[in-house]
Structure 1
Amino acid sequence: MAESTPDSVPAPSGPPPRSRLRAFLGLALLCAMVAAVWLFGYWEPRLLPIRVIEVEGELHHHSSRLLEKTIGERLRGGILTADLVDLKSAAEELAWVGRVSLRRVWPDRLQVRVEEHRPLARWNADRLVTAEGVVFHPGTGTIPAGLPVLEGDDSRAPEVVRQYLKWREDLMLAGHLIQVLTLDPRGDWRLELVMGTELRLGTGAIEERLARFIASAPQLEAAGQPLEVDLRYSNGFAVKWAPSAESPVPANTGRSKRSGNRG
């Protein structure tokens, strides 16, 4: 006689009630958090607005009012939610502005500390460069008069500035001022002095070559008006004189200018 088997019990369909409850609570919590964030973002600028933008620093080319206007137009949020990184970027977009720092001052003030660029020289045709080698565009018609001119690739601006500062001191001791300093793409250094003399230093041993000119400068000036002094020789230099100068006395460099190769 065949034994009867009990009917199989069907498995319950869907997640258990406890899992469904946890999922519902999680969704409700997420919705509550989103709503809280929205409400905070909506009410915070109204309840805790920034009422005062205080600009500090020695400003010459950008007034405090212009900076306040620039930051005010970019300002989003209140004292707690204002994006200081974005506001800093907005201030630094102004041509003469160098460094900017911002600080929240409770309950409704934003403190902005500004340092303007201080140009050391003109850079190439239409820009300026600071003593730190920072190149910036000052805007139309705002380049100060009377600055020396430094020329070169932007990536080498710090190097050109360092050489200018060093050579400026060295030449001032000899009674000369630099009008133009150029570093061309081949690495060739060239100086133009205020007195009208051009110095060709080449690519190597430039410190030694400049020292050679400084040591011989009194003798050269006593002999006439040098237009160009080519120092790209290992053991001497060549001089091109102004046409109006009297027959120059040969410069006593201690060596013939043909005794070395140019470079």
Structure 2
Amino acid sequence: MRQLSVTSQNKRKRTQVWWKRATVRPLIFSAVMGIVAALLTYAVKTGLTDIASMRLERATLNATAKTGLTLRDVLVEGRENTPLKDLRAVVNLELDQPILDINPQVLRERIEALPWVATASVERQLPDILHIRLNEHRPIAMWQHDGTFSLINKEGDVILTGGDDIKVFSHLPLVVGEGAPEHSAQVLAILRSEPDLNKKVKAAVRVSDRRWDIAMENGAFIRLPEDNPEKAWSRLAVYNKENLLFDKKLTSIDMRLPDRIMVKIDDLETIRKPVGGQDT
């Protein structure tokens, strides 16, 4: 009987097809990748990938909406001065739209472009609520410049200019002149440091963007120095308590010299030098 010869598999030499040979594989891989790249380029140029992606995205959003992820309510926190109609215009959302279709970052940027809004945050509270938090500018003064009135915040930024909406803030301190907004917080703090005098203030006028003249309700002007205006204001408060200055028909009080106070009453001018030991 003839027996079959048995050969170990690791010793047997196998014949490979040509496309599996080591020298051919890199060429085949390169060719396939080239075809894939060409197809992708064609798809991008013709917009096929964008269309497919948009269709998939829309189908996914519609599917989430069917599970209850739809906009049912928009909650707004922190709105005091931002007109509701302006906020609605930039939000521009519809109830029952897929809530995942709302881009919080884009919406936040649009809200922060509103005049009254300093910063905002927008959050989706799944399944059906959009929460908007507003941090509005806080006006500290009215600024008069070139015949117009503007609201400014403590950083000197203009919040709002002109219009009927600005009239409700007429109770705020008035600052006047070029460069006034940037220095308003400082001068208002100085004026408030002497409450009795501050009650008589009508406006703070910026002079040559270097110093302040304070217009008083009785028509007098207090000329503060460029350096250490707070000390001059305190000296005036002391002098007023001693001499009841504002019971007289004052024209101006010049505080620009550190060692004297120049008071002008109608057409008369007096110079008051501090007594010995008095802080100047």
TM-score, normalised with respect to structure 2: 0.67
Cα deviation, 1:61-113, whole Å, max 9, x if unaligned, reads: 33545423421169xx9544533333223223333333311112223432111
Structure 1 residues 139 and 81: CA distance shift in structure 2, 3 A: farther
Aligned to 2:54: 38
Equivalent residue in structure 1 for 2:87, among 67, 70, 89: 67
User: 2:49 & 2:246 partners in 1: Cα distance?
Assistant: 86
Please list, as runs of the form range in 1=range in 2, the aligned pairs for 1:125-136 lying within 5 A after superposition.
125-136=148-159
User: Once structures 1 and 2 are overlaid, which stretch shifts more, 173-182 or 116-125?
Assistant: 173-182
Aligned counterparts, 1:133-144, within 5 A: 133-138=156-161, 140-143=163-166, 144=168
Q: Deviation per CA, 1:25-53, whole angstroms, max 9, x where unpaired?
A: 45557859656533344335544565245
Q: Distance in 2 between matches of 1:23 and 1:96?
A: 55
| Residue 163 (structure 1) aligns with | 187
1:220–1:226 contact (8 Å) kept in structure 2: no
Q: Residues 43 and 220 from structure 1, CA distance in 2 versus in 1: closer, same or farther, beyond 3 angstroms? A: same
Q: Which consecutive residues of structure 1, in runs of 5 or more, have no partner in the other structure?
A: 1-14, 256-263
- SS in structure 2 at match of 1:159: helix
1:209 aligns with 2:232: yes
When residues 68 and 52 of structure 1 are mapped into structure 2, their CA distance, relative to the original with a 3 A threshold, is: farther
Measure how far apart 1:235 and its partner are. Answer: 1.3
% identity of equivalent residues: 19
Q: Give unpaired runs (5+ residues) of structure 2.
A: 1-25, 276-280
Dislocated runs of 4+, deviation >6 Å = none
Aligned to 1:120: 140
Aligned equivalent of 1:57: 77
- Decide which structure has the larger Cα Rg and report it: 2
Contact 1:95–1:138 (CA under 8 A) maintained in structure 2: no
State whether structure 2 residue 171 is matched by structure 1 residue 146: yes
SS at match of 2:224: strand
Equivalent residue number for residue 184 of structure 1: 207
Number of aligned residue pairs = 233
CA RMSD of aligned residues (A): 3.5
Look up the SS of the partner of 1:94 in the other structure.
coil
Measure the CA separation in 2 of the matches of 1:228 and 1:240.
Answer: 5
Aligned partner (choices 67, 92, 108) of residue 112 of structure 2: 92
Q: Is the 8 A contact 2:75 2:129 kept in 1?
A: no
User: Residues 231 and 96 (structure 1 numbering): CA distance in 2 closer, same or farther, change over 3 Å?
Assistant: same
The residue matched to 1:136 in structure 2 has which SS?
A: strand
